[in-house]
Amino acid sequence: MTAEDYKNGQVILIDKPLEWTSFQVVNKVRWLLRKQFDLKKLKVGHAGTLDPLATGLLVLCTGKFTKKIETFQGQQKEYTGTFTLGATTPSYDLETAIDATFPTTHLSEAIIRDATRQFLGDIQQQPPVFSALKKEGKRLYEYARKGEEVEIPARTVHISEFEITRMDLPQIDFHVVCGKGTYIRSLAHDFGRALNSGAHLSVLRRTRIGEFSVENAMTIEDFETKLKG
């Protein structure tokens, strides 16, 4: 690859490491490319944020391909991960501490599997208050971290597949295929409520966006090695 190739547009598939923000990955890749080709500037963007505590596929676009980001963002996404039942957190994941606990003794495999059905198709979902969505020019997490209450309207999202792949209570593993705007953290929270218990997301990995698979993605270290050739 040459500098012109990256300016004209490339898609780079990165397997995002745990605890990195999507923004940090974009910055690192941009810095590596600018350094390698001695460029003063180069556009790099990502097609769909992954939370710091999630791993998996991050689709990066360079140069003129940054215009395709919106198209990629609208494509179907696939996730695997773990819900922990019996407890909730304000962020719906492990970013914040447990704020309430609930019984799980009433839960059976049949009840848990049966509950997945109500989350298939078009459903109403409320985004987490600890998210990067904007309200009145501020990110929602900015309100949340200050303890300020903010109303978040529910929105319609589409889930085409939701299956439980392993049960070892209080943890259950899942596989989800969904459309744009779906929050797996919110799915965890709502699923816990549907079970008359609590739940939060404890592990999340994105495995696919459209035709792009994490199996074809590189670690940041792999990308750096490839660049240096």
Active-site residue numbers? 51
Q: How far apart are CA 220 and CA 28, in angstroms?
A: 8
Q: How far apart are CA 220 and CA 226, in angstroms?
A: 10
For 152, the token pair is: 């978040």
Q: Which of 123, 119, 131 is nearest to 176 (CA)?
A: 119
DSSP at 132: S
H-assigned helices in 90-148:
109-115, 140-145
Beta-bridge mates of residue 139 = 134
Q: Report whether 186 contacts 168 (CB < 8 A).
A: no
